[in-house]
Amino acid sequence: MIGKVGMFHRLRDGQVYMNLWPMRKELSPMFPEHRVITATRFGVRVMPAVAAISVLTQFTFHNGAGLPQAIVVALFAISLPIQGFWWLGTRSNTLLPPALATWYREIHQKILDSGVLLEPAKAKPRYKELAQLLNRAFRQLDKTVLERWF
């Protein structure tokens, strides 16, 4: 399953996986990654502003009594994208369930059959290997081959 990984390594893995996962509409019904990545990107753009506004409005209106609640809101807002990176980092290092591992091997073989050189298929593939392979498949296989899976 998932090895012992430090917090910062897991967050970094989440950022890498977010950039690695193919954001294709065909994958959306099968995998939650599309929704998590979209929400995380939104959170990275918007939540720092929400955090700053929640605290700054208390200063602007001289509301010292509301400052503790504003700080809690700010911390919660900042934590949302961090939660997305955490989930993505955990997911990227999770072993594929048997059905997905079989699908991974089928796609790997189909890419090899098309004449593209690949490194050998992993014996125990993780979601990050699936993401790499799917990116390769979408780039190099024609649409008729992909229709079989999507």
pLDDT in tens, 133-149: 999 988 877 665 566 66
Is the whole-model pTM more than 0.85? yes
Residue 1: per-residue pLDDT: 47
The two tokens of residue 98 are: 């048997």
Q: Among 115, 87, 113, which Cα is nearest to 31's?
A: 87
Residue 140: per-residue pLDDT: 79
Q: Among 32, 24, 6, which Cα is nearest to 88's?
A: 32
What is the Cα–Cα distance from 118 to 14, expressed in whole angstroms? 24
Summarize pLDDT for 112-135 with one digit per residue, the tens.
888 888 889 999 999 999 999 999
- Average pLDDT of each block of 10 consecutive residues along the chain (150 residues)? 74 97 93 97 97 95 93 97 97 97 93 86 96 90 63
The two tokens of residue 145 are: 């081959």
Residue 49: per-residue pLDDT: 97
What is the Cα–Cα distance from 113 to 128, expressed in whole angstroms? 22
Q: Average pLDDT, whole number, for the chain?
A: 91
Sign of the CA dihedral running 21, 22, 28, 29 = negative
